[in-house]
Structures are given as structure tokens and as C-alpha cells.
């Protein structure tokens, strides 16, 4: 392929953020008077569904004794979770996964475009970039397609299709970087070659169709593409 752009997923790909999300959910639940606690195994199951509000709704379907929550309360819970997440990330509670910073720098030096296609919310993306990249580097991610920008979230291809459209490049010149089966499915459906670096919550998944599956991005070499 003639590589012209890298399109990054965020949660689990740029950084191991899912444990921060899980802790933020639990704190938001406690503050709202809900006796809910999502442990690692439960959260792994909930991560099969993309989107925070969608995960709350899925949990309501799973827990027969859970109180009925209307959309407004779900939205408030999710907004508070995102606020807690942002506070944690901005306080230095998260770092990039190995190899990410070096790859971003190398891609920039090589004249490649850098984009983001994620189903997390834009404030979460902005908080992570501000906390983990220098301002000049964070601004290199253009476009940033977040969960608010699409109707259907991963494994639907919408986020990647929109990112490619905004880049103005043929999909065969763009490489997607993912950590999950949902992300791989979305990227492949958008016609993108995809490299997967499994994360804490996705090591058990199968990644058939990935161009390469590697432990982290320290094993990624632009010269191979």
C-alpha cells in the first residue's frame, strides 16, 4: 500500500483508558445513590457494546433488580462519568501505551496525516490528548471523529468512513490502528487495512482479518508499509 494516513482508535489503543472509565462509572453510580459496582469481568462483558450510555442500558437489561432509569437520568450519569474521567486523566492518571508517542512523531516526520476515529465522546478525547501530548502534537490529529459525530457506533463503519471522507484520501492509503474486535470490524468494513494491538480488556478476542496483531506499537515500523 501507499501509506498516506494513520487513523487511531482511542480507548485501549492510544492508552489503557478502560480501567479509568470503569472506576469513573462506579463513582458516578455511587454519587447517584445506585448500589452498582462494575467489576472487571462484568465490564469486559459490557464492552461488547460500544458507547457509555449504551452500556448502562445493556446493564439495565442484564440486572433484573436494577431500577428503571429514564433517558434523562442515563444521560446525567454518563455526563458525570465523563466529568470524573476527564478529571482523572487531566490529573496525570493516564499515560500513552508503549510505542504510541514514537509512532506519532515518526509519522509526522514522514509527512503522514494523523486522524482519530472513536466512539468515545469528544471531551474524553480532548482530555486524553491534552494530558498526554504536547499541544503542537495533539493538534496534528485532524480530523477527530468522536461518538457524537456518527449515528451508528462501532462495529458499524460510520466513524471510519467519516474520518476517511474528512481526510479526503482513498481508504486504501489509510491504515487503522485498533485494539478490539468491534474496532477491527468497523475499520475493515470501511475498507481499511488494520493493525491490532490488543489491550487489557481485549486480549481474549479473535482478530481474523487484521493485517497484523502485535503486543503494542513498539513493534510497528512505518518502513514495513
Q: Which three cell numbers stand for residue 41?
A: 469481568
Tell me which of 11, 32, 63, 224 is the catalytic residue.
11
Annotated catalytic residue 63: no
Q: Tell me the C-alpha distance between 80 and 24, whole Å.
A: 8
Annotated catalytic residue 11: yes
| 3-state SS assignment for residue 6 | strand
**Are 3 and 191 within 8 A, CB to CB?**
no
- Higher local confidence (pLDDT), 118 or 65: 118
> 89: closest CA among 135, 35, 129?
129
In the chain, DSSP finds a helix count (H) and a strand count (E) of 9, 6
Q: Tell me the C-alpha distance between 81 and 76, whole Å.
A: 8
Tell me which of 9, 39, 135, 224 is the catalytic residue.
9
- Higher local confidence (pLDDT), 71 or 139: 71
Q: Tell me the C-alpha distance between 74 and 66, whole Å.
A: 13
Summarised one tens digit per residue, pLDDT across range 86-128 is 999 999 989 999 999 999 999 999 999 999 999 999 999 999 9
Q: Tell me the C-alpha distance between 202 and 206, whole Å.
A: 9
Above 80 in pLDDT, residue 134?
A: no
Burial of 73 (0-12, 13-18, 19+ CB in 10 A): middle
CA dist 50 → 1, 11, 44, 60 (Å):
30, 11, 11, 15
**Which domains, from first to last, does the chain contain?**
5-16+95-224 (3.40.50.1000), 18-90 (1.10.150.240)
Q: How confident is the model at residue 65 (pLDDT cuts 50, 70, 90)?
A: confident
Predicted pLDDT at 66: 77
For cell 458507547, name the residue: 51
> 76: closest CA among 125, 31, 127?
31
56-61 mean pLDDT: 94
Q: How confident is the model at residue 135 (pLDDT cuts 50, 70, 90)?
A: low
Summarised one tens digit per residue, pLDDT across range 30-51 is 999 999 999 999 999 999 998 9
Amino acid at each position: 500500500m501507499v501509506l498516506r494516513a494513520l487513523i487511531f482508535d482511542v480507548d485501549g489503543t492510544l492508552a489503557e483508558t478502560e480501567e479509568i472509565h470503569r472506576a469513573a462509572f462506579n463513582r458516578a453510580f455511587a454519587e447517584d445513590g445506585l448500589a452498582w459496582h462494575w467489576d472487571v469481568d462484568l465490564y469486559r462483558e459490557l464492552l461488547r457494546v460500544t458507547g457509555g450510555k449504551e452500556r448502562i442500558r445493556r446493564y439495565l437489561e442484564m440486572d433484573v433488580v436494577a431500577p428503571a432509569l429514564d433517558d434523562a437520568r442515563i444521560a446525567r450519569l454518563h455526563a458525570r462519568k465523563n466529568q470524573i474521567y476527564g478529571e482523572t486523566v487531566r490529573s496525570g492518571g493516564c499515560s500513552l501505551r508503549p510505542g504510541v508517542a514514537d509512532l506519532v512523531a515518526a509519522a509526522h516526520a514522514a509527512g503522514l496525516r494523523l486522524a482519530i476515529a472513536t466512539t468515545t465522546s469528544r471531551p474524553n478525547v480532548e482530555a486524553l490528548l491534552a494530558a498526554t501530548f504536547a499541544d503542537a502534537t495533539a493538534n496534528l490529529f485532524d480530523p477527530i471523529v468522536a461518538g457524537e459525530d456518527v449515528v451508528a457506533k462501532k462495529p458499524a463503519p460510520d466513524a471510519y468512513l467519516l474520518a476517511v471522507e474528512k481526510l479526503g484520501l482513498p481508504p486504501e492509503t489509510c491504515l487503522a490502528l485498533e485494539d478490539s474486535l468491534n474496532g477491527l470490524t468497523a475499520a475493515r468494513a470501511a475498507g481499511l487495512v488494520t493493525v491490532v494491538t490488543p489491550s487489557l480488556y481485549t486480549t481474549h478476542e479473535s482478530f481474523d482479518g487484521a493485517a497484523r496483531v502485535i503486543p503494542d506499537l513498539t513493534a510497528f515500523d512505518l518502513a514495513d508499509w
